[in-house]
Amino acid sequence: MNRFPLQLKVSPAKKMGYWVLNDNFIYFPTAKMHTSKIIVPKDFETNFASIPRIFRNIIQVWGKHGKAAIIHDYLYTKKCTPEVTRKKADQIFLDAMKFSKVGFFKRQLMYRVVRLFGDINWKKEGL
């Protein structure tokens, strides 16, 4: 099963460093996530991965993790279903990176960083 069944189509957004989805974007998490499908709506804006400039020589804003980052950004917004907790959003991010074949070390590093510091953005979004 293709967990990302639709092609990702984005355009530059008005806000510098952000992109807007041209079409809906869908992800089917593994069964252990207990979520059947996540639909990120057309016109959703993302900056892909929020990587501080100092670390961009290690992890880029865009890469194999890009689709997972969009799902994660969406799950961190008010637009998402209220039953998704921050911990679940982070686990889905890890799940999507694994499916996207992000290397083990990079995947674990990104997951651990969002677990440690993601609370800042979670609270910022008002969840």
Q: Does residue 51 sit within a domain?
A: yes
Residue 126 clears pLDDT 50, i.e. is over it: no
Specify the 3-state DSSP secondary structure of 1: coil
Q: Does residue 2 sit within a domain?
A: no
**Can you give the pTM of this predicted structure?**
0.80
Q: How many domains does the chain have?
A: 1
- pLDDT band at 18; cut points 50, 70, 90: confident
Q: Are 59 and 110 in contact (CB under 8 A)?
A: yes
Q: Are 24 and 40 in contact (CB under 8 A)?
A: yes
Q: Does residue 3 sit within a domain?
A: no
Q: Judge residue 70's burial from the number of C-beta atoms within 10 Å of its C-beta, 0-12 exposed, 13-18 middle, 19 or more buried.
A: buried
Q: Does residue 5 sit within a domain?
A: no
Q: Does residue 1 sit within a domain?
A: no
Place of tokens 């807007």: 20
Question: What is the extent of the structural domain holding 23?
Answer: 10-124
The pLDDT tens digits for 59-98 are: 655 668 789 989 988 988 865 666 788 888 899 999 999 9
